[in-house]
Amino acid sequence: MLELILMTGSDAINNTADDHRRLKTGLLAQDQATTYVSTADVDETTARCLVGALLEDDVVIPDSEQRVLVHEPRGEAFDSIWQLAVFHRGWTAARDSGEEDK
């Protein structure tokens, strides 16, 4: 939450640099909070359903020799369905916000 700060003296009207900095910092914090993906709601059942759909869509490829699942768009290998599901959610959010290659 942004704080209201009263300024007194002759520079009260002209000195807005600190106000602008606080406003910019507050807005940036709000913007960043909306781009984070929650992983708390990824339980085992949700992870299995998501990974099953990814397997059907060939986004995830099983590697039977290594006993891992490979996330094809990024080439990352996972031995845990839950970790793969969480990774894919984060990857999707980054891709959708245009931050994948940053």
Ranges of each domain in the chain: 1-35, 44-97
Place of tokens 């106000």: 19
Confidence at residue 86, expressed as pLDDT on a 0 to 100 scale: 92
Mean pLDDT check: name the lowest of 2-11, 14-23, 85-94. 2-11
Tell me how far apart the alpha carbons of residues 42 and 40 are, in angstroms, rounded to a whole number: 6
For the four alpha carbons of 40, 44, 45 and 50, in that order, the dihedral sign comes to positive
**pTM for the whole thing?**
0.59
In this predicted structure, the answer to whether residue 101 has a pLDDT above a threshold of 80 is no
Return the closest-CA partner of residue 33 out of 67, 3, 1, 8. 1
